[in-house]
Each structure stands twice: as C-alpha cells, then as structure tokens.
Structure 1
Amino acid sequence: MAQAIPNILVVEDDRETRTLIAKYLRNNACNVTTAGDGREMVRAMTDRRVDLLILDVMLPGEDGLTLCRKVRAESQTPIIMLTARGEDVDRILGLEMGADDYLAKPFNPRELLARINAVLRRQAAGRTASATEGATALSFAGWRIDFRMRELRNPEGARVAMTSAEFDLLRTFCERPGRVLSRDSLLDLTQGRNAGSFERSIDVLVSRIRRKIEPDPQEATVIKTVRSGGYMFTPKVEIASAAGT
C-alpha cells in the first residue's frame, strides 16, 4: 500500500457486495466511502478527495461504463471496473473508456486489494516529480544520457549504442533514482498499457542495459533487483552540463 492511507470510493448498487468490499478494505488500511449509483458517486467525489474509484458496470441509471468515461474526461483518478460479465469484449470496452484495471465477479477480495495497490503504485511512479524534471541531459557515475540526441556516453566520452527500447527504459530509471519500480509500472512508463508487452520484456531490457553500464553485469550495482518488488536505479543522478561530462 502507498505510504499515505488511500481514499477509496466504492460504487456498487448491491448493498451486500458494497458492504463486504468496504469492510475488507477498511481492515487493510484504506479509507472507504460507498455509493449506490452515479448520483451518489458524484456527490462523494465533490465532497472529498478520491484516490481510487472502484466502479461496478451494472448500475441503476447511468451504467458504470458511462460514468467511467465521464470521470476520465475530467480527471486522472484511477478506476478499477467490477462486473459480473467477464467476457473479453466487456473488459476491453472498460479499458477503452479509461479504466486502469478490470475485475470480473465473483472475485477474491485479496485480488482486488492487490490490484488497488498495483494501480496506485503505477500512478505514483508516473506522477512523482524529481529534482531533475525538465532536464534535457543527465549524468550518473560519470555517464551522460542526452534526451534530445537520444544518446548515451560512457565516462570516457564514447557513444554507447542502444536500441530505442533500451534508451527509454534507462531514461525512466534515471528520472526516478533510488525508487523501487515494479515491472508493471516500468511497462506503463516506457511502453504503455496497449503496447502488447509483457513483464518479461522488462527483464530482457534490464539485462541488456546492465551489460552496457554495469562494472560487473553478474553482480549488478547500478540497476539493482529488488526481490518481489522490481528494480532500483542506485547512482546519484544530476543535471548534466551543456558541454557534457
């Protein structure tokens, strides 16, 4: 779970289901507000900050897909859709409306909590600013990465060949040093949810980058593997001078 206790809004017309979800999330360090339809949802989102919206598809009045589209047009509040229909077409439609994730009923509350945590981590990784935000070139451990030229140079000043995917991933690490980044969040930050990629592709790219920048790729110290977490970029990162380093 994120460091701050998240405010979750559960929009579900079935009272029993709504109560069960709210009770489980409150028992797992979440602040929870509930709503039975779109009108109650709008009032709740007007009255308080909502960090994540759990939205049922089958609702009286405006359905969940319509509400999802309206919320997404006005804010980036993360949305997890719930539905009794688990067909791929419904899942895809929900994602196209702007949902961040989709869970078919019946579901295990632990899975819902895991998906909430994953969505919140991805959002935090994507929006957290750093001291180097807006820089066109950064340096770390003698290396220089130039975003405009899309090139990497080693401490001796020699250009190091990189594929576009390798460069984008290294840039993502350099812009977020000292933070644990999950494979899921790295996919979102570098390739997007609709890229048709898999978590394994991140591991392959990390391995390739390590061979180029690590003193010893077998004992990685620049891009560390965090068990059950993902990866962390460990060097101090600074804005590079215009003339390079």
Structure 2
Amino acid sequence: MSAGPALSPRAELPDHAPHILVVDDDRRLRDLLARFLGENGYRVTAAASAAEARARGRSLVFDAVVLDVMMPGETGFDYARQIRLTSSVPILMLTARSNPNDRVTGLEIGADDYLPKPFEPRELILRLNNILRRNARGPADGTAAPLDAVRFGPFQFRIERGELTRDEEAIRLSEREREILTILALARGGNVEREALTGTNGAANERTVDVQMNRLRRRIEDDPANPRYVQTVRGVGYRLVLD
C-alpha cells in the first residue's frame, strides 16, 4: 500500500467521521494504521515526522492524534509538548519502549493514553474510541452520545469517576477492577476481547484477566458461578449486560 497524507480506503466516509492524525516514521506501520482505521470508520491523515504533522495541522483539524514516541529528530514527546501549548486534542502515544518511566513521561506531558508496541489493532480502536468518548466526540460512527454512566440491574457505574454503586451504596473497587469495568462499560454492552482487558501497560496475560474478572464478579454477582451481568463470550472475551 502506497504512503500518502490521506489514506482512508473508504471514500464514502461521512464528513462527521472522526479525523485522526497518525504520526510515525515507520512507513509500513503508517500504512497499516491508516488502512485499519479507515476500515473502522475513521478519516485518516498520515505524517512521517513531527515537522510534517505540524504542516498538516496548519490546514486541517483533527479529532485525535496517534503519535509514535521514537522518531528521528523531534521525538513524539517533543511534539506532544508542542501540541499541548495550544490544543487539548486527544493524544494516543505508541512506543516500543518497555521502560515504565516513558509511560509516566507521556502522561505528564498530557497524553490521554499510551499503547506499547507490538499491539493488537483492535485494542488501538478500543482505546481510540475511549478517549474520543471521554472528550465528548462519540464513537467512530459519530452517532452515539458520550457515555457518562451505565446501569445494570441495581448497579450504576459512573465512568468518569470510576464509581460503582448498588442502590446508591458505594462498592469498593481495586484499580484493576475499575479499569476492567470502565472498558466493559464503554463497549456499551458489546463484546470485549481478552487482549483489550490486559491493562494500560499490557502487563497482564489472558489467564490473569480471567482471575481478575472472577474477582470483579464476586463484588457484583449474586452467584459468581452463574453470572448475570459480567458474562463470558466463548472464544472472544467478556461483555457487560446493560439495562
């Protein structure tokens, strides 16, 4: 697939489809990301460097930026700092680095999320949808309203606050339980693959996710062995059954 500034393969995408700026010096990865994002309802502009991205930004408005950390010359960190001087556009940073300090640096600069390479493209879509929703822009098809809270049975989960209540009584959650519940809630009742539930740094494996899911069920389900709300989707992952 040839490289270029506007690489969405679907010319029929509506004007209100979110417009994503992909910045990565790896041509192959830029092309793959542009194609995959286009197939999932995004308009895409690609840039090979921070300088090229800055030039694109002079004439275009973006709904989010997918930004690689390791680029020659001006790094992704440098460019993210420059973006934050004038804009609050959501930033999803990509990196091959394993040092947790890099993630902290990105978040301190103002990045909204941080995805280590290699990653599953479907996880990228999930995380991108999440940060767009948090910034009140809706999901990729542009039709759904921002999601503030979800209800299931006697429970309500306030997403932005990470608060779970049952009949107005607060239920204490661990950080991982809160993270898992947030991902499930933002899927709006849809299926979520195990890979997407491994945590923001990808540290947990799928078996660990199953263990954590069982702990979450013990907090929510009357009968954790026969869950009503946090259900297993065989061969896929999990889903949260909403009202």
**Interval of TM-score (by shorter of Structure 1 and Structure 2):** 0.5 to 0.7
- Residue 44 of structure 1 and its aligned partner are, at CA, apart by 1.5
Aligned residue type for 2:233: V
2:20–2:62: 8 Å Cα contact kept in structure 1?
no
Residue ranges of structure 1 left out of the alignment (5+ in a row): 237-245
- Residue 67 of structure 1 and its aligned partner are, at CA, apart by 0.7
Q: Give the TM-score, by structure 2 length.
A: 0.56
1:122–1:184: 8 Å Cα contact kept in structure 2?
no
CA distance in 2, matches of 1:22, 1:96: 25
Q: Which moved more, 1:170-179 or 1:91-100?
A: 170-179
Q: Give the TM-score, by structure 1 length.
A: 0.56
Root-mean-square deviation over aligned CA pairs: 4.8
Change (3 A) 1:66 1:227: farther
- Residue 183 of structure 1 and its aligned partner are, at CA, apart by 6.2
2:84–2:110: 8 Å Cα contact kept in structure 1?
yes
Percent of aligned positions that are identical: 25
CA distance in 2, matches of 1:174, 1:119: 13
2:23–2:67: 8 Å Cα contact kept in structure 1?
yes
The residue that corresponds to 1:241 in the other structure is none
The residue that corresponds to 2:232 in the other structure is 225
Tell whether 2:58 aligns with 1:39.
no
Alignment of 1:11-22 (within 5 A): 11-12=23-24, 17-18=26-27, 20-22=28-30
Rg larger in structure: 1
Residue ranges of structure 2 left out of the alignment (5+ in a row): 1-12, 139-143
Tell whether 2:142 aligns with 1:152.
no
Aligned residue type for 2:102: R
Alignment of 1:45-194 (within 5 A): 45-46=57-58, 47-55=60-68, 57-60=70-73, 62-72=74-84, 74-82=87-95, 86=97, 88=99, 91-92=102-103, 93-94=105-106, 96-99=108-111, 100-101=113-114, 111=119, 113=121, 116-123=124-131, 126=134, 133=148, 140-141=152-153, 143=154, 152-153=166-167, 162-165=171-174, 168=178, 172=182, 177-181=188-192, 193=200
Aligned residue type for 2:189: G
More helix by share: 1
The residue that corresponds to 2:6 in the other structure is none
